[in-house]
Amino acid sequence: MEQVLLHHMRPQVCHVLDPLQFAYQEKVGVEDAITSMLHRSLSNLDNGSRAVRITFLDFSSAFNTIQPLLLRDKLTEMGVSTHLVAWITDYLTGRPQYVRLGDCKSDTVVSSTGALQVAVLSPVLFTLYTSDFQYNSESCHVQRFTDDTAIICCIRSGQEYRKLIQDFTWCDLNHLYLKTTKTR
């Protein structure tokens, strides 16, 4: 079912997919992401930057933090059909869950946040959910591979770093929290 949904959704969102998201594209992979990051970093140094700062962000429980109503609004703004948006919203809300360990089963809880870690659809939904986190400019850009994010900034003054700090407000507004032990 998820593959069918992806088949119908991809043409509707291809215009908003970030070219610097190196996952979920044919013939593009982690090697391309690393090559792009190195190329941009070295080019910035060759063009007079004092330094290049690469900040690696690791979002805590990334797929689990998707807010369905916020995603619904973003998908609507992207031009995804109302029927597809309604299906995705319904898919993400009111899911009964429980844990089974051997013969023991926990109480069932209803989840209305996040996407299943093992679902085919989850990485794409997370990519669309975070697609508005970007400020690709001459001095900084955001690059992703699945839920891993790197911010590459050439440092000429303190302004670039201040912009990076302001973008953490976006994370808060979108209920994405950084795993500080892994964010570098």
Quick: pLDDT tens for 19-48. Answer: 888 887 778 888 999 999 999 888 888 887
CA atoms within 13 A on the CB side of 44: 22
| pLDDT tens digit sequence for 82-103 | 999 999 999 999 889 899 999 9
Residue with tokens 């659809």: 121
The secondary structure of residue 107, as a DSSP letter, is P
Given this model, what pLDDT does residue 73 score? 97
**Residues facing residue 52 across a β-bridge:** 154
Nearest to 41 by CA among 154, 150, 148: 154
Is residue 167 classed as helix, strand or coil in its secondary structure? helix
The secondary structure of residue 104, as a DSSP letter, is E
